[in-house]
Amino acid sequence: MEQGINNMTGDEKQQEAEQILEACSCDCTCCARKKSRNEKEIKDLIHRLNRIEGQVRGVRNMVENDAYCVNIINQVAAITAALNSFNKVLLANHIRSCVADDIRSGHDEMIDELVHTLQKLMK
């Protein structure tokens, strides 16, 4: 089930997602938990995603128009930096709200979830 995501077809990705949901019977982040975000937070995150989406479309156009490899690589590096920035903002908001609230409520398992999430980000 842990084959590389880039080597998976759309059906295989869907099947893996369904298996994860079936295996999970708890109230965890992968299936049932939700986060209420204020309008400013939503607007900021969507703005960042829209910029990233535009950058990705730009790279696709560069590939279609036979742009020089180094120019494409530079743009991909910019996309990677933008995604990392998005993750930093989202993670900071998550720690300030979800993690802090759960720990205050005695849900110390949130620490394990945070550690697991950080390990994924640092791969």
| Whole-prediction pTM | 0.69
Q: Are residues 24 and 42 in the same domain?
A: no
Residue-range definition of the domain harbouring residue 104: 35-121
Alpha helices in the chain (DSSP H): 10-23, 39-64, 69-94, 100-104, 109-121
In this predicted structure, what is the pLDDT of residue 123?
A: 86
CA distance 123 to 4: 13
Q: Are residues 49 and 15 in the same domain?
A: no
Q: Are residues 85 and 97 in the same domain?
A: yes
Q: Are residues 58 and 110 in the same domain?
A: yes
Return the CATH number at 73. 1.20.58.1000
Q: Are residues 61 and 105 in the same domain?
A: yes
Q: Are residues 112 and 73 in the same domain?
A: yes
Q: Are residues 17 and 60 in the same domain?
A: no
In this predicted structure, what is the pLDDT of residue 35?
A: 87
In this predicted structure, what is the pLDDT of residue 25?
A: 42
The tens place of each residue's pLDDT in the chain, 123 residues long, gives: 444 444 556 566 555 555 544 444 444 445 578 889 999 999 999 999 999 999 999 999 999 999 999 999 999 999 999 999 999 999 999 999 999 999 999 999 999 999 999 999 998
Q: What is the count of structural domains for the chain?
A: 2
Q: Are residues 51 and 69 in the same domain?
A: yes
Q: Are residues 61 and 92 in the same domain?
A: yes
